[in-house]
Amino acid sequence: MSGLENIGVKIINPLTPQTDGVSGNADAILHELVALLETYIDSGENSAIDLHSLPLTPTDYELLRATLAEGEVHANINAVGNTEVRETLYPGVWWLTYYNVEGDIVADLLEVIDVPEILKAPAEDIRDGLVRLRDLLTQME
Amino acid sequence: MNEPDTLGASLTRTGISRRSFLKFCTAMASLMALPPSAAYAMADALQRTQRQSVIWLSFQECTGCVESLTRSFDPTLEQMIFEMISLDYQHTLQAASGTAAESAREQAMKASYGKYLLIVDGSIPTKDGGVYSTVAGISNYDMLVETAKGAAAIVSVGTCSSYGGIPHANPNPTGAVAVTDIIKDKPVMNVPGCPPIPSVIAGVLAYFVTYGKLPELDHLNRPKVFFADTIHDRCYRRPFYDQGKFAKTFDDEGARNGWCLYELGCKGPTTYNACATIKWNGGVSFPIESGHGCLGCSEPNFWDKGSFYQPLPTPLADNAPVIAAATLGGIAVGTVAAVVSRKHQADIGTKEGK
Amino acid sequence: MDLLQFARGPALTWAFAIFVFGMSWRLLGILLLKRRPDYSEPRHATSWPGAIKLIITRSWPRREFRPRTVFGLSVGYIFHFGLVIVVFGFAPHIMFFRSLTGLDWPNLPNAVIYISGAITIAALIIVLGRRLTNPVMRLLSNFDDYFSWFVTITPVVTGMLAVAHLGARYETLLAVHILSIALLLVWFPFGKLMHSALIFISRGTTGALFERKGASI
């Protein structure tokens, strides 16, 4: 059965919570973050975890929020709706929440990287911006 | 005609920032359950490539599928699919009309022969030479066969082009068939639904544009990532089914408590679609969440599988006349059998008497 | 037409037709038979109390034979009761009967149904094992016995699989389940499953005869 790994698996219905409301997946994510940070330090390879690809209970979310907490950087990107970029208490671990214009979450990721790609100004956009600024100055002269 | 147009250039022209585009790719990757790194690869690859030429043919349809995609609740993100493609022909959306419109299709076919993606919504009438639906004097059948020749792949959007849909329903006066009934030599992906979920349409198109091939398909040519599970499997009311708690009418105690709608004819257990997870109107709800059973609109022949309100395990036909007739027949045969037996008994009796 | 449409449509219609045709044919054919005239003086004026009495007493093992028959009899009772619970207690089945007869009654919790179904299957396997291992029973058994056993257990097994969504897609499992019921209905009037109706007729007839003669029941 080749090609089995190409079939995406998406689990959205939350697990039936245990008595304490924790499914164990939050704990698994935290351990995976440790492994991903180790890889990043060793090889510089960045990575991400899609929080929608795992069944998480509301308590799992709270546990992740409480453990990762707020770091030093908090940015909002205003591009077709808001995108919230928050550094966690652990430098290099970022929590990115993508909202659409209506404010619904369309993607929820944990990224392990020095600066998330979406924060950086893309080279092409910089070039386009330069052109626009030059044009503006020419018009003003 | 347009110069070969990279997506990056097109984005600049339309004032869409690359961040917005990266965001779109992230949302699509998450939706398609691709690894998060795929979003960057997707964004990177797409910026450099030419916009995918798409020819969209509408046959016997109601435009509901186009409406679903273009008037989706969250148009800004899902409509970004239109930035990724160069929609060279689409009746409803294009500005050109008449001869100009048809020549746009011919030019697009010529310009990227063998590479364009063909999207079809609506079924194709085949009866009486296909006269029941024509565009510019060309029958749907001829147009499909001609346009399919140069297509890299075909996407049937909606139940009509996927399975024949409502035009195909009994007695099917126009002899309507699905795309796969006509085109046998091209990869065809079915995205059924009446209409399909907009993010599903956008997601599979984004996949094709990114990877240049169709995603993994199931036995009915549906993308597995969205059509692997039944509505019932993913339904939030499933626990009530498992407990045997059913609403008996639409306004009883069970209905108010949100119990399972199986007895009210819900087709969730036999319907493969993503409504229960992705939901509709930007994730607001889906039919069952609004208190109505699933109609099974993304399944073949959904219109001919009995009433929407008839529970799944009940007989489809009205069997009362057949049962009555068979009972009478049985009584007749039984009586004849008894008469014969009695005569036989009487014969034995007389023999014994002698 | 897919398999489920075929099962719910023509397959069920034909099965119902053959079932009611066969039942009325066989029952009438037996009930209308000529009775042998009995010229002796009846011991009791009415014979029906004997019929009822015998139907009840024969449903219980006689003390003399009890050690030998109690096992087979209790396993038999277990799967008969299990079948009744599953067939008449499961909500989708009640819906099926309601669509045919208009009658409705409250359903049992699904957990009860699942347990009864499992016990029924186990008991049916035990009775088949007994039939195969006991030399006398084996000698007495013919195709009818084995086939009647098969058409009885198949709907239970396929029903359990459909409920558990095991082995195939739900629509296929449900279709196979309905087809297995169609097979049961078709075979019912013509095989030994007909005992479900005839057992009361034959016991009642014997009981009435005994009552008339004054034999102990």
What would the pLDDT profile of A65-107 be if each residue is shown by its tens digit? 999 999 999 999 988 889 999 999 999 999 999 988 778 888 8
**pLDDT higher than threshold 50 for residue B123:** yes
A106: which chain B residues are within 8 Å (Cβ-Cβ)?
A: 23, 26-27, 30-31, 74, 77
Instruction: Tell me the pairing of strands B138-139 and B134-135.
Output: antiparallel
**pLDDT higher than threshold 60 for residue B73:** no
Residue A2 lies in a domain: no
What is residue A8's predicted lDDT score, i.e. its pLDDT? Answer: 52
Split at pLDDT 50, 70, 90, the class of B78 is low
Residue A1 lies in a domain: no
**pLDDT higher than threshold 70 for residue C29:** yes
Closest residue to B76, CB basis, from A47, A80, A128: A80
Partner-chain contact C5 B305, CB within 8 Å? yes
Do C19 and C189 touch, CB atoms closer than 8 A?
yes
**pLDDT higher for A140 or A67?**
A67
Do A117 and A85 touch, CB atoms closer than 8 A?
no
Closest residue to B76, CB basis, from A10, A100, A122: A100
What is residue C75's predicted lDDT score, i.e. its pLDDT? Answer: 94
DSSP annotation of C7 reads I
Q: In this prediction, what percent of chain B has a pLDDT beyond 90?
A: 53
What is residue A13's predicted lDDT score, i.e. its pLDDT? Answer: 45
Averaged pLDDT, A57-65: 86
Distances (CA, A) of C42 to C38, C45, C211: 9, 6, 9
For residues A28 and C74, what is the distance between their CA atoms, to the nearest angstrom?
52
Residue A123 lies in a domain: yes
For residues A82 and A74, what is the distance between their CA atoms, to the nearest angstrom?
13
Q: Which of residues 97-136 of C touch B (CB under 8 A)?
A: 99-100, 107-110, 113
Q: Is B26 on the interface with A (CB under 8 A)?
A: yes
Residue of B nearest to A127 (CA): B12
Partner-chain contact B283 A104, CB within 8 Å? yes
Summarised one tens digit per residue, pLDDT across range B310-347 is 998 888 888 889 999 999 999 999 999 999 988 888 88
Averaged pLDDT, C143-164: 94
Distance of CA C80 to the CA centre of its chain: 7
Residue C166 lies in a domain: yes
Whichever domain contains A69, its CATH number is 3.30.1370.140
**pLDDT higher than threshold 90 for residue C64:** no
Beta carbons within 8 Å of C138's beta carbon, 6+ residues apart: C131, C132
| SS3 category, A47 | strand
Partner-chain contact B317 C92, CB within 8 Å? no
Taking residue B321's Cβ as centre, other Cβ atoms within 10 Å add up to 9
Chain A to chain B Cβ contacts (< 8 Å): 104
User: Which domains, ranges and CATH numbers included, belong to chain B?
Assistant: 52-225 (3.40.50.700), 229-342 (4.10.480.10)
Do B144 and B57 touch, CB atoms closer than 8 A?
yes
**pLDDT higher than threshold 50 for residue B67:** yes
What is residue B298's predicted lDDT score, i.e. its pLDDT? Answer: 95
SS3 for C148-197 is HHHHHHHHHHHHHHHHHCCCCCHHHHHHHHHHHHHHHHHHHHHCHHHHHH
For residues A98 and C3, what is the distance between their CA atoms, to the nearest angstrom?
44
- Rounded to the nearest angstrom, the minimum Cα separation between B147 and chain C is 30
> C88 is in which domain, residue-wise?
3-8+63-187
> A41 is in which domain, residue-wise?
8-140
Averaged pLDDT, C54-71: 86
For residues C101 and C196, what is the distance between their CA atoms, to the nearest angstrom?
20
- Angle at A9 (CA atoms; ends C161, B201), nearest 5 degrees: 105
The total number of structural domains in chain A stands at 1
Summarised one tens digit per residue, pLDDT across range B275-311 is 988 888 877 789 999 999 999 999 999 999 889 999 9
Residue of A nearest to B76 (CA): A80
- Rounded to the nearest angstrom, the minimum Cα separation between B290 and chain A is 18
Partner-chain contact B327 C24, CB within 8 Å? yes
Identify the H or E element spanning A111.
Answer: strand A105-112
Residue C116 lies in a domain: yes
Beta carbons within 8 Å of C185's beta carbon, 6+ residues apart: C15, C16, C18, C19
What is residue A14's predicted lDDT score, i.e. its pLDDT? Answer: 44
Distances (CA, A) of C213 to A19, C207, C217: 71, 10, 11
Partner-chain contact A106 B73, CB within 8 Å? no
Q: Is C146 on the interface with B (CB under 8 A)?
A: no
What is residue C215's predicted lDDT score, i.e. its pLDDT? Answer: 82
What is residue C22's predicted lDDT score, i.e. its pLDDT? Answer: 95
Q: In this prediction, what percent of chain C has a pLDDT beyond 70?
A: 100
Give, rounded to a whole angstrom, the gap between the first and last alpha carbons of chain A. Answer: 68
* b (16+ CB within 10 A) / e for C147-179: ebbebbbbbbbbbbbbbeeeeeebbbbbbbbbb
Torsion of CA A96, A97, A100, A105, to 10 degrees: 150
DSSP annotation of B130 reads G
Q: Is C12 on the interface with B (CB under 8 A)?
A: yes
B115-119, B133-137, C32-36: least confidently modelled range: C32-36
Instruction: Tell which residue, B57, B62, B43, has the closest CA to residue B143.
Output: B57
What is residue A11's predicted lDDT score, i.e. its pLDDT? Answer: 47
* b (16+ CB within 10 A) / e for A32-54: ebeebbeebeeeeebbbbbbbbb
What is residue B293's predicted lDDT score, i.e. its pLDDT? Answer: 95
Do A113 and B291 touch, CB atoms closer than 8 A?
no
What is residue C133's predicted lDDT score, i.e. its pLDDT? Answer: 93
Q: Which of A56, A77, A80, A128 to mutate to test the interface with B (most CBs of B within 10 A)?
A: A80
Q: In this prediction, what percent of chain A has a pLDDT beyond 70?
A: 84
Split at pLDDT 50, 70, 90, the class of A57 is confident
Residue C127 lies in a domain: yes
Q: Which two tokens stand for residue B271?
A: 């319907």
A36-45, B74-83, B163-172, B228-237: least confidently modelled range: B74-83
Bridge partners of residue B151, in order along the sequence: B116
Residue A100 lies in a domain: yes
In the block, which residue shows the tokens 């003003």?
A: A140
The total number of structural domains in chain C stands at 1
**pLDDT higher than threshold 90 for residue B117:** yes
Using CB atoms, which chains have 3+ pairs under 8 A with C?
B
Residue C91 lies in a domain: yes
What is residue A12's predicted lDDT score, i.e. its pLDDT? Answer: 46
**pLDDT higher than threshold 90 for residue A51:** no
Summarised one tens digit per residue, pLDDT across range B192-219 is 999 999 888 888 888 888 888 899 999 9
